[in-house]
A and B are shown apart, each in its own frame.
Chain A
Amino acid sequence: MKKPILGLIPSAYQGGVIYGKVYSILPVNGDGDFLFLRNSNATRVKENGLIENVDNNVPRLDWLNSNCPSLLLEPQRTNLALYSENFEGTNWSAGNTVITQNDSIAPSGEQTAIKLQRTSTSASYRTHFIYKSASAITYTTSVFVKQGEDNYFAMRSQGSYPSRVDIRFRFDTGLIYYAQATSGFTLIDYNVENYSNGWYRIYFTYTSDTNTTLSLTFSPRETDGNIDSSDTSSTSFAYVWGFQTEVGNYLTSYIKTEGSAITRFNDQCLNGGNGNLFDITEGTFFVDVTPYKGGVYHYISLNSGNNQNRIIFIFNNTNTSYTARVVSSGSTQLNDTRTITFETRNKIAISLKQNDVKIFLNGIEVASFTNFIMPNDLDRLSFAIYASTDNFFQGKVHDTRVYDRVLTEAELIELTTL
C-alpha cells in the first residue's frame, strides 16, 4: 500500500509553554505535526501500568491495557471528591472504619495507598459528602481498590434515603456482580478497569435525585452485602486510593485532589498538515479511534478553517452512531450516518474523488455516492469542529491517515478490518 501523505500513529510528542506538539510519522519534515493544548496538568497510564502526573500541554500517550499507546483526548472534568488519596479530612465521616495512610504501594507506584478497615460486624462504611445543586445530575464515581483481607467491597452513592445506587465488587473475579439503583437514582453504567498489578478501578455512572447532598460510601467486607448490611468480620480490610466523583456520563483519567475540587482542562489536538500537503484532487481519510460516550457531538475534521470545505466524522450525541459529512464550497455533498459501538475501537475510511465516494466501516463497505464534488482549500486536520474552539474529539486515537489517492477496495478492507 502506498504511504499516506499524513500519518498519525501516536508515538512521539513534545510539551511546551504555549503549546505542545504531537508528531506525525508522515511527512517526516514536520508539516504534518499537530498543535496540542491542555492548560492544566493531567494523569496517564505509563507503559509499566503505573499512573503518572503530566504537565500542561504535554500530550498523553496512554498504555492502559494495551501493548501500543493511544493518544488520550478527554473533555474538561472536575473531581469533586476532596482528599482523594487520604479518605479523611473535610466532609469525610469514619462510620465504624479506620484507615492507615501510606500502608501500601498505590497505582502511582508510590507508598500512598490507604488501608481501609472495618471495626464492627455492624454496618461499617466510610463516607464522603459532596454538596450539590437541588437538581438531578449525572455523575461518574470511581475508586481504586486492591484486595486486603477478604473478598468483597461495597460502594454506595446516596441522596435522600432511600434514593441511591449500590455496587458490590468481588476481588476473586475482578467484577462488579451487583449494581442496583433505588428510588430517585438511575444507574447508567458500571464497570471495572483491571490494572494488572492487583489494583482495580471500580466505577459507576448514575443520575442522582435532587437532594443537595450526595453521600459516597465505601465498605470492605468478608461476605456479600450492601454497605449498611452486617458482616461476619469486624476486621475485614481493603486497600483504596484515588477516589473520584465527576459530573459526566463516563469515566475519565484520575485527578488528584487535596482540600479543594480540582479541574483538568480539555485536550486539544489541532491543525495537522497544511494547504500544500492537502492540495489533492482525490484521496482517502482514515481514522482508527475509540470514541467516548460524550453525550455531545464531537468531531474529527479535515477542513479549510471554516465551514465551507470539510471532510468530517461526527460522533453523535446519542453515543450510538457517527456521521460522515463532506461539504464542498458550502454545499453538503454527502451525509451518511451509521451505528457504531462507542467505548470500543472503530476503523472508518472514506475514499473520495469526483463522482466516486466509498465509506468503509470496520472492514465493510457501508455506503457509496456517485454525485460528488471534491472539497478544496483543505489545509488542516483537527480533532475538533472546523472552528477548533469546541466539540473536541473525546476518546482515544490509535491511527489517523490521509492518502492522496483513492485506495482500492482490497486496501480499504485491509485498512479498516479490526
Chain B
Amino acid sequence: MIKLGKYIFDSEEQAETKIKGLGVDTDDNGNEYSTHNHAIVRLGHEVLEKGEFDAEGNVIKETVLSDKFLIDVAWNDIKDHPYGWKSYAVTPSGELLHNFYGIDYLENKIK
C-alpha cells in the first residue's frame, strides 16, 4: 500500500541526510544502495519568485530560489511519516508541483 508525503527541508543537505537515514548498504563495488522500497523524488529548491520572460523567451527577471528543499515520497507499506520526517511534512492546497503517475494525492496522502 502506497502513502504519499510532501516535505520541505531546511536545505538540500538536510534532505539528503534524512533520505540516507531510511537505509543504505554497500554493494560489492563499494557503492551505496538503498535498503528501503520507498520512492523518493527530489523536486529541488523552493521557487520564491518565478523568472519572467518576454514573448521571445528572453529573461526579464531571473528566478529566485530559497535554500529550502522539496521532497515528495511514495511510502511503501507504512501508514505514517517515519521518525524525524513529520515536522517537515506539508499539505499543499491548490495545484500541485508534482504527482505520481496515476496516483491521486488527496486519496493517498498520509492523513
Task: Identify the A interface with B (CB < 8 A).
Answer: 39-42, 53, 55-56, 76, 78, 93-96, 123, 125, 127, 129, 131-134, 212-213, 215, 217, 255-256, 259-266, 296-297, 307, 314, 317, 325, 385, 387, 389-391
Given A261-B43, A265-B74, A39–B2 Cβ distance below 8 Å?
A: yes
Cβ-defined partner of A297 (8 Å) among B29, B41, B45, B74: B29
List B17-76 residues whose CB lies under 8 Å from chain A.
25, 27-29, 31, 33-37, 39, 41, 43-45, 47, 50-51, 53-57, 59, 62-63, 65, 72, 74, 76
Output the least CB separation between A206 and chain B (Å): 18
CA distance A315 to B98 in the complex (A): 31
Q: Which of A42, A262, A325 lies in contact with B28, CB distance below 8 A? A: A325
- Chain B's closest residue to A390 (CB) is B33
Query: Which B residues, 89 to 111, have Cβ-Cβ distances below 8 Å to chain A?
Result: 95-103
Given contact pairs A131-B44, A212-B65, A261-B43, A95 touches B29 in the complex (Cβ within 8 A): no
Cα(A255)–Cα(B103), bound, Å: 13
Does A265 contact B100, Cβ atoms closer than 8 Å?
Answer: yes
- In the complex, which residues of chain A have a beta carbon less than 8 angstroms from the beta carbon of B39? 39, 76, 263, 265-266
In the complex, which of the residues A123, A256, A262 contacts B98, with contact meaning CB atoms closer than 8 Å? Answer: A262
A260 adjacent to B47 (CB under 8 Å):
no
B29, B44, B59, B101: the one contacting A255 at CB < 8 Å is: B101
A389–B36 CB distance below 8 A: yes
**Quick check: B56 and A263 within 8 Å, CB to CB?**
no
Chain A's closest residue to B36 (CB) is A389
Interface contact A264-B101, CB-CB below 8 Å = yes
Known: A93-B53, A96-B56. A55 touches B102 (CB 8 A): yes
Q: Could you tell me which B residues sit within 8 Å of A by CB distance?
A: 2, 12, 25, 27-29, 31, 33-37, 39, 41, 43-45, 47, 50-51, 53-57, 59, 62-63, 65, 72, 74, 76, 95-103
Q: Which 9 A-B pairs have the closest CB atoms?
A: A41-B102, A390-B33, A127-B57, A40-B101, A41-B101, A212-B63, A390-B34, A261-B98, A133-B44
Residues in A with CB closer than 8 Å to B100 are 39-40, 262-263, 265
CB distance from B1 to the nearest CB of A (A): 8
Is the Cβ of B102 less than 8 Å from the Cβ of A259?
Answer: no
Q: How far is the CA of A326 from the CA of B35 in the complex (A)?
A: 22
Checking A42, A53, A213, A389 against B34 with a beta-carbon cut-off of 8 angstroms, the contacting residue is A389
CB distance from A122 to the nearest CB of B (A): 9
Given contacts A133-B44, A263-B41, contact A93 B55 (CB under 8 A): yes
Report yes or no: A391 in contact with B99, Cβ–Cβ below 8 A: no
CA distance A317 to B30 in the complex (A): 12
Other A-B pairs, 14, CB within 8 Å; known A213-B51, A215-B57, A385-B27: A39-B74, A39-B76, A40-B102, A78-B98, A93-B53, A93-B55, A93-B56, A96-B56, A127-B57, A133-B45, A213-B62, A262-B101, A314-B28, A317-B31
A96 cross-chain contacts in B, Cβ below 8 A: 55-56
Residues of B within 8 A of A42 (CB): 101
Contacts of A131 in B (CB 8 A): 44, 47, 50-51, 63, 65
Q: Could you pull out 21 A-B pairs where Cβ atoms are within 8 angstroms?
A: A39-B2, A39-B100, A40-B102, A41-B102, A56-B103, A76-B39, A127-B53, A131-B50, A131-B63, A132-B44, A213-B62, A255-B101, A260-B97, A262-B98, A263-B39, A264-B101, A265-B39, A307-B28, A317-B31, A387-B25, A390-B34
